[in-house]
Amino acid sequence: MGLKTYIIRRLLLLIPTLIGITLLIFAIMQFLPVNIRAMMYITDIKELDDLPKLIEEHGLAQPVYIQYFRWLKEVFVDHTFGVDRYNQPVFEAIMARLPASVELAIFSIPFIIFIGIVFGTTAAVHKDKAFDHTTRLLAIMGTSLPSFWLGIVLLSIFFAGLGWFPPQRWGSNVNLYVSNPSSSWKWYTHFITIDGLLNGRPDITLDGLRHLVLPVIVLTLLNIALIMRVMRSSMLEALSKDYITAAKAKGLTKKEVINKHARKNALIPVVTLSGLLAAGLLTGVVITETVFDLKGVGAYAAESAAVPDIPVILTYALLSGFVFVMANLIVDLLYAYLDPRIRLD
Amino acid sequence: MSKNLLTIEDLILRFYTYEGIVEALDKVNLKIKDGETLGVVGETGCGKTVTGLSTLVLVPPPGKIEGGHILFDKKGKTVDLLSQDEAFLRDIRGEDISMVFQDPRSALNPVYTVREQISEVFLHHRRREFIEQVLKRPLTGFERKIYEKMLENPESFTLKVISKIPIINRYKRKLKDEISSEVIRVLKEMQISDPERVVDMYPHELSGGMAQRVVIAIALACNPKLLIADEPTTNLDVTIQLQILNLIRELKRKFGSTIEYITHDLGVVAEMCDRVAVMYAGNIVEVADVMELFKNPLHPYTKALLESIPRPGKEFKSIEGTVPSLINPPKGCRFHERCPYAMEICTKEKPVLKEITKKHSIQCHLY
Amino acid sequence: MDIKSKLHEFRLGMQPSIDELKFTATRIKSSPLSIVGAAIVIFFIILALAASWIAPPGHPSQGGNPYMMPKFGILATPQPPGSTVKGNYAQFGTTAWQYDIYYGCIWGSRSAFRVGILVVIPSLLIGLALGTLAGYYGGYLDELLMRFTDIIIAFPSLILCMAFIVVLVPIGIERLDAVMLAFVIVGWPSYARIIRGEALRIKNEDYIEAAKSIGCSDFRVMLKHILPNSIYPVVIMASLDIGTIVLGVAALTFLGLGAPEGWADWGQLIAYSRNFIYGKPTDPYCYWYTFIIPGLFISFFTLGWNLLGDAFRDILDPTIRRK
């Protein structure tokens, strides 16, 4: 079957999965007694005395299926599901903090994917030699170190000790400027690095980049492990195939064989992995954001979970699930594009 | 007397594995005459495939060639392939010596089309000729300059950069189109009736027979002097087998290639080959003209092989024992443990390949 | 006589298994990393078992619960290793609020094992059971399982865990238990998927048909044939998981979501160090021991299990055993 048919089939499969996610979150929510669920809508402390009114207003005593559709409407259409502890509607609160997470992700993803692929390929080509063992060690360390600990240690050395790379998104003097509504600063994309240039202030962009160094290092170290390992084993598998010998028999150079023949086959599982990884990073990295005090969605979710601020967590889980399912879809489509054998299915 | 196109002298090949050192090839000697079809027969594991791979110096690790010479006649000059550098060997592979593999669908890269895989051979070995042909066609000024540059300085940095830029590198299409028409011509030679359709298919979409034709097309694209066919029909249905055998015969007639035909099927040998070499446990034990071998087999192993072919009405006869492990091969003649004529000297000293008549050589203490 | 020959036959029958085990042993010996991993894990096992002797509980501040860290004082500022606080000797120093780092680290290994085992084993069992059933019977059961696990796996695990925790705690479950329960709920689908894949692969093998044709019940087939052959990837996953789970719980504890205040847990110790990681303006590294020491404990613990799991993968995976 062609690529088109496969795409259509995959898109159709998307819908039940998305519905499934909403059902799961809704089901989790139903675990809570009615009163607690009513409290999610409180904007004023006085309303605590009159919970039945809230229950009535939001239909929390109605049959489950009615509640479900009502809840769906609240979340997606009206954006009125839940108010967080700062009395901001949850949806807006999350959207406001999204740029911080996305910016971090955008700077980390290329490093992770590039280093992962290059190191993994080289490790496979030089199997069992020094490079291979070193990268293996690096990978194992990456997965063994607690992310929060790595962040702390780096901050201790590079911020407290050397003063090179500070936490948070920008410095305090920059903050005076960009957070002041009456200054000439304009937020275009809400990415400090891009907006710095757009506002004609490259020094602010540089400041933003300086603040990104440590979190990007942490994320890279933690995540290259998986990509390196998958790339390596996938490359080793490809190199052991008959078509590699056949390609050599055609007279191609070693480089051509590795790059043209082996790598295209080996990249396929890595692409899948990278897509999921990117999705994970885009939905916010809870720990890294907390340690470096980057006010992103991940940190927000973390604080909310500690309170606990239930509507925030549930909405966040819902949105993350969606992002992941979309990422899965894109990855599957990419996979079908790269590997013609899949389209048969 | 025709010359020897390929001479393998005392080839020693070892595999270094976890379980020990496998003495895969033990001083193998083989001569292939220009224009003939030599069959190499033997059971699975006797070393026939690695002999073929060794000729291309393509033995995968943990295998290592550790002795001997492989003399190839390249345009009148004899070279020892084992002492050449990679660049020279790459030149020879695909151009002078080619290989057809056993499992066609795994010999083709699953993510590239038939067109791309056949074009690759041309792109590598006949690049200049095709560029010159492109230059004969109507081109824009820009394209003409680029192609002339490709002729005069193919390694130039500018070329490398330009070839990576998305829209500008469309100039490559002219070359690809030129090669495509050649690819289709080659597929027609393979007796494929609708090459335009096949050319854009992926390997998994091809039937076994079709895939094998593509593999043969790749091998013969540049008209090599020597074609090493490693069990090309073993994985195919019997009806297709016959088609492919006929195809190979026809192509040989047309192109005049020398063929080293590796197989375990004595019937195919009888059909296709002029001479036969029998291999056992890493040694060539007997070499003879086809008719001579079938009429008058001399080596005990060959005799047993021929007798074990099942025939209606005859009792089943198989060879006693099993092929020895090559990690610690038996001393002396490797067949002595299963040989009904074994003598004392067979357990101590390895026999040497001796020429009994012009048409018949044998490696056995009986002679 | 009869017994002797039966024994002899038994030995002959077992010979291939014995040879395989011997081969496995040589493979283990040839991989230095696996030995290191095993050594580290054994070290922590000993540490956890001997906790009561190496770091005896009994300090009044613990309130009778040995899993609580003793509090040697009331000051917020950590004291360096080797100091004595109100008559109590702190080998590794004290962290914020004078919790004893030494005690915390030693008993932290017990916490870690407790958490790891209490999470991995139920996940494994549930995953094994459901995965085998789904893979073996196929059909609707299989589809159902796949969709269900699809949804759970679709979420980033930490976030889904938080969602469960946030809901389980208000209904009265102890926080640490809620954390472990959440991890089990989020964890079993991965095991189920792997087993299901293996079961699917194996049930089509000839020996399964052979077993059924001589009358083996489905249950027996699953138990004796499918399970032993599909267990390898699960073992690998489980040993890698123990490290991951402990890291995850530590991360949640660091965020304030896991172990309760004062619990002897490595993540908790690092959480206590948060206000002191910058040290003093004149001496930025002066409180290094509050986070470096517990961090090393947790890193090595995870490292050991990762090495072991990695080694298991190289050793047990039948396709790469003999490379």
Closest Cβ opposite residue A286 in set C158, C165, C284: C158
Q: Is C19 on the interface with B (CB under 8 A)?
A: no
Pairing of strands B275-280, B283-289: antiparallel
Determine the structural domain holding residue C93 and report its residue range. 35-321
Q: Is A261 on the interface with B (CB under 8 A)?
A: yes
Nearest chain B residue to A268 by CA distance is B111
B62: cis peptide before it, omega within 30°?
yes
Q: Is A2 on the interface with B (CB under 8 A)?
A: no
What would the two tokens of residue A248 be? 């050599």
Helix (H, G, I), strand (E, B) or coil at C280: strand
pLDDT exceeds cutoff 90 at C46? yes
CB B343 within 8 A of CB B269: no
Residue C252 to chain A, least CA–CA distance (Å) = 9
pTM check: above 0.80: no
Q: What percent of chain A has pLDDT over 90?
A: 10
- Mean of the pLDDT values across residues C102-131? 91
- pLDDT, position C97: 86
Nearest chain B residue to C323 by CA distance is B18
- pLDDT, position A344: 58
- Mean of the pLDDT values across residues A282-308? 85
The pLDDT tens digits of the residues spanning C82-91 come to 888 887 888 8
CB B365 within 8 A of CB B333: yes
Q: Where are the beta strands (DSSP E) in C124-266?
A: none
Report CA-CA distances (Å) from A76 to A312, B41, C59: 14, 72, 54
Residue A232 to chain B, least CA–CA distance (Å) = 18
Give the Cβ contact number of residue B326 at 10 Å. Answer: 22
From chain B, pick out residues whose CB is under 8 angstroms from the CB of A264. Answer: 109, 111-112
Structural domain contains residue C177: yes
| Stronger pLDDT, A240 or C46, i.e. the higher one | C46
- pLDDT, position C300: 94
Question: Which of B114-123, C38-47, C313-322 shows the lowest per-residue confidence on average (mean pLDDT)?
Answer: C313-322
- Mean of the pLDDT values across residues A101-106? 90
From chain A, pick out residues whose CB is under 8 angstroms from the CB of B215. Answer: 246
A28/C285 CB distance under 8 A: no
C279/A160 CB distance under 8 A: yes
Nearest chain B residue to C26 by CA distance is B18
| Amino acid, res. B129 | E
The pLDDT tens digits of the residues spanning A154-208 come to 998 898 888 888 888 888 888 888 787 777 888 888 888 888 888 888 888 888 8
> With a CB-CB cutoff of 8 Å, which residues 294-323 of chain C face chain B?
322-323
A320/C243 CB distance under 8 A: no
CATH number of the domain within which C237 lies: 1.10.3720.10
pLDDT exceeds cutoff 50 at A335? yes
Structural domain contains residue C295: yes
Structural domain contains residue C205: yes
The pLDDT tens digits of the residues spanning C189-199 come to 988 888 888 78
Give the Cβ contact number of residue C16 at 10 Å. Answer: 9
A155/C278 CB distance under 8 A: yes
What's the mean per-residue pLDDT of chain A?
Answer: 84
CB A153 within 8 A of CB C292: yes
C277/A156 CB distance under 8 A: yes
CB pairs under 8 A between A and C: 148
All partners of chain B with 3 or more CB pairs under 8 angstroms: A, C
Cα torsion C75, C77, C79, C80 to 10°: value is 180
Q: Is B157 on the interface with C (CB under 8 A)?
A: no
What would the two tokens of residue B259 be? 């063929």
Q: Is A234 on the interface with C (CB under 8 A)?
A: no
Residue B86 to chain A, least CA–CA distance (Å) = 9
C167/A29 CB distance under 8 A: yes
Nearest chain A residue to C310 by CA distance is A140
What would the two tokens of residue A42 be? 């409180």
Q: How many domains does chain C have?
A: 1
- The number of angstroms, rounded, from the C-alpha of C1 to the middle of its chain's C-alpha atoms is 49
The band of C13, judged by pLDDT with boundaries at 50, 70 and 90, is: low
Structural domain contains residue C5: no
The band of C323, judged by pLDDT with boundaries at 50, 70 and 90, is: very low
All partners of chain A with 3 or more CB pairs under 8 angstroms: B, C
From chain A, pick out residues whose CB is under 8 angstroms from the CB of C306. Answer: 140, 143-144
The pLDDT tens digits of the residues spanning B224-271 come to 989 999 998 888 888 888 888 889 888 888 888 899 999 988 888 888
Helices marked H in A250-309 — which ranges? 254-256, 263-282, 286-291, 297-306
The pLDDT tens digits of the residues spanning C142-160 come to 888 888 887 787 777 888 8
- pLDDT, position A2: 65
- Which is nearest to A236 in space by CA: A115, A135, A121? A121
Q: Is C4 on the interface with B (CB under 8 A)?
A: no
B107/A243 CB distance under 8 A: yes
From chain B, pick out residues whose CB is under 8 angstroms from the CB of A261. Answer: 109
Question: Which of A173-177, A298-302, A322-326, C203-207 shows the lowest per-residue confidence on average (mean pLDDT)?
Answer: C203-207
Q: What is the CA radius of gyration of chain B?
A: 23
Residue A186 to chain C, least CA–CA distance (Å) = 33
pLDDT exceeds cutoff 80 at A318? yes
Q: Is A325 on the interface with C (CB under 8 A)?
A: yes
> With a CB-CB cutoff of 8 Å, which residues 318-357 of chain B face chain C?
none
Residue C307 to chain A, least CA–CA distance (Å) = 7
Closest Cβ opposite residue A155 in set C151, C251, C277: C277
From chain B, pick out residues whose CB is under 8 angstroms from the CB of C322. Answer: 18-19
CB A280 within 8 A of CB C230: no
DSSP code for A123: H
Closest Cβ opposite residue B107 in set A242, A253, A341: A242
A313/C166 CB distance under 8 A: yes
Q: Is A129 on the interface with B (CB under 8 A)?
A: no
Residue located via tokens 């990855």: A331
Structural domain contains residue C7: no
- pLDDT, position C117: 92
Helix axes of C101-137 and C32-49: crossing angle, nearest 10 degrees: 120
| Stronger pLDDT, B70 or A338, i.e. the higher one | B70
Disruptive mutation site among C31, C41, C162 for chain A (greatest number of A CBs within 10 Å): C162
The band of A251, judged by pLDDT with boundaries at 50, 70 and 90, is: confident
| Stronger pLDDT, A46 or C79, i.e. the higher one | C79
The pLDDT tens digits of the residues spanning C272-282 come to 998 888 888 88
Structural domain contains residue C22: no
All partners of chain C with 3 or more CB pairs under 8 angstroms: A, B
- Residue C127 belongs to what H/E stretch? helix C101-137
- pLDDT, position B1: 47
Helix axes of A263-282 and A310-338: crossing angle, nearest 10 degrees: 160
- Mean of the pLDDT values across residues A78-93? 79
Q: Is A161 on the interface with C (CB under 8 A)?
A: yes
- pLDDT, position A345: 46
- pLDDT, position C236: 81
Closest Cβ opposite residue B204 in set A250, A338, A341: A341
Residue located via tokens 């027609």: B188
B93/A241 CB distance under 8 A: no
DSSP code for B93: B
Closest Cβ opposite residue A305 in set C165, C244, C299: C165
What's the mean per-residue pLDDT of chain C?
Answer: 82
- pLDDT, position C317: 64
- Residue B20 belongs to what H/E stretch? strand B20-33
What would the two tokens of residue B129 be? 């000729």
Architecture of the domain spanning B1-104+224-322+361-367: 3-Layer(aba) Sandwich (3.40)
Structural domain contains residue C11: no
Mean pLDDT by 10 residues, chain B (367 residues): 80 84 87 90 85 88 86 85 87 89 89 90 87 83 82 79 78 85 89 88 88 91 90 86 89 88 88 90 88 87 82 77 80 82 83 82 83
The band of C318, judged by pLDDT with boundaries at 50, 70 and 90, is: low
From chain B, pick out residues whose CB is under 8 angstroms from the CB of C24. Answer: none
- pLDDT, position B214: 92
The band of C17, judged by pLDDT with boundaries at 50, 70 and 90, is: low
Q: Is B18 on the interface with C (CB under 8 A)?
A: yes
C254/A148 CB distance under 8 A: yes
Closest Cβ opposite residue A328 in set C154, C250, C255: C154
CB pairs under 8 A between A and B: 72
- Which sequence spans correspond to the domains of chain B? 1-104+224-322+361-367, 114-183
Residue located via tokens 């790379």: A165
